[in-house]
Amino acid sequence: MLLCFPPNPREVLTLLNEQRGYKPGDENSEFWDSYFHNWNHLQVISLGVEEIPSFTRLSICRNLFIVPILGFPGQVTSGSVIETHDVQEKTQGLSFKYQYEDGYIEQKVTTLRRKTNKQLSPKAKAIIDHILPMAFIPSKGISNPQDEAERFSRLEKANRHHEVEEVLRSVESRLKRLTVLTNGQGSMVYGDIGEGHLIPVSLMGEGMVRMLSIATAMVNNKGGLVLIDEIENGLHYSALPTLWQMIFKTARQFDVQVFTATHSDECIQAASDIAQTYNGNDLKLYRLDIIREQTVITEYSSEELAAAIASNQEVR
């Protein structure tokens, strides 16, 4: 997420923290240090992109360097005890330096309290204008109905709502149309499935809501990237082939590259099965293992994945 999204680290850190379920209360030194390996802020975080031109489109941020902002926390009174440890080693925030092909952008985050109406510098705006459209779909919870309504409204205004409807018909064949309606609690996406009245999509099941989030993200970010954490969440295993069929078809139709994370054997199996009906380059799997405190990455092509599954190898 930190590499893929425009340089707004405050929002990304907020999302990461929510995903980790980590809420330490006040933004103290422990909070910031939790992002560093072994909580050691003396080692700068360095993230980089090694691009495979024929397979990926991560031509966004080439490198990102994250260093702590050190300083004394809080107020000092005449009776306060001050130690060098407090002044030299307490982390008060993070400094981000993004490297792009056409320059650098530096950002500092000392609080995660959201700020509004912050103007981007001309340099930052010029770089961001070249960044591909992207979306991140988290793993936990059901999507906010108001957010889904706002995202679907953008497609309705552009007269592209039928594109999402077409995608979702592969999941719910009775779906005639989707629309955004306002009720006392705000706006929600409703669907017509031939029941004589419209039904909130949120009442069609968590799986349908999950599918709507994915479909809307892919259609809204044509030519870009969609990142999905624990993609199988909220879906019965029997719906996974339908999910992957929708993703492969929609990815091709709208030229979207999808990155997903999963711990599910059934999900990987379904993806592999559907991939066999497409070009072999449409799917790759990367397995991450911790071996002697090092992350080891094993890469599987579509054909290698199918062979590994057939021979009952562990690929998760």
Q: Is the pLDDT of residue 294 over 90?
A: no
What integer pLDDT is reported at residue 267 of this predicted model?
Answer: 94
- Same domain, residue pair 101 and 15: yes
Is 81 contained in some domain? Answer: no
**Host H or E run for residue 258:** strand 257-260
Residues 115 and 21 in one domain: yes
Task: Give the highest mean pLDDT range of 79-88, 128-137, 205-214, 263-272.
Answer: 263-272
- Whether residues 110 and 142 share a domain: the answer is no
What's the token pair of residue 39? Answer: 């909580």
Determine the pLDDT at residue 124.
67
What is the pTM for the complete model shown?
0.73
Mean pLDDT of all residues in 183-199 = 87
| pLDDT of the residue at 179 | 92
User: 277 and 217 in one domain?
Assistant: yes
Domain count, the chain: 2
| 217 neighbors 231 (Cβ within 8 angstroms) | no
Q: Mean pLDDT, to the nearest integer, of 190-196? A: 90
> Considering the domain boundaries, does residue 57 fall inside one?
yes
Identify whether the C-beta of residue 91 lies closer than 8 Å to the C-beta of residue 33: yes
Q: Per-residue pLDDT for 219 more than 60?
A: yes
Q: Is residue 3 part of a domain?
A: no
C-alpha distances out from residue 86 to 28, 42, 66, 78, Å: 12, 15, 21, 16
Q: Which domain holds residue 16?
A: 9-70+86-131
For residue 104, the model assigns a pLDDT of 82
Residues 178 and 288 in one domain: yes
pLDDT score recorded for residue 284: 92
Q: Is residue 272 part of a domain?
A: yes
Residue 93 has pLDDT above 70, yes or no: yes
Residue 76 counted as domain residue? no
- The mean pLDDT value for 141-156 works out to 80
Confidence band, pLDDT 50/70/90 cuts, at residue 69: confident
Cα–Cα nearest to 214, from 140, 162, 143, 268: 143
Question: What is the CATH number for 178?
Answer: 3.40.50.300
What's the mean pLDDT in 37-61? 72
User: Is residue 265 a part of any domain in this protein?
Assistant: yes
Tell me whether residue 122 is in a domain: yes
Mean of the per-residue pLDDT values for the chain?
Answer: 81
Q: Which of 131, 146, 163 is the last residue of a domain?
A: 131
pLDDT at 207: 80
Q: What is residue 308's predicted lDDT score, i.e. its pLDDT?
A: 92
pLDDT of the residue at 183:
75
Same domain (yes/no): 28, 111:
yes
Asked if the structure places residue 51 within a domain, the reply is: yes
> DSSP string spanning 40-108?
-TTS-EEEE----TTT----S-SEEEEEEEE---S---TT----HHHHHH-EEEEEEEEEETTEEEEEE
Residue 142 sits in the same domain as residue 291 = yes
Angle (CA) 94-98-101 rounded to 5° is: 175
Phi, psi for 106 (deg, rounded to 5): -115, 135
31 vs 247 pLDDT, higher one: 247
- The pLDDT of residue 123 is 66
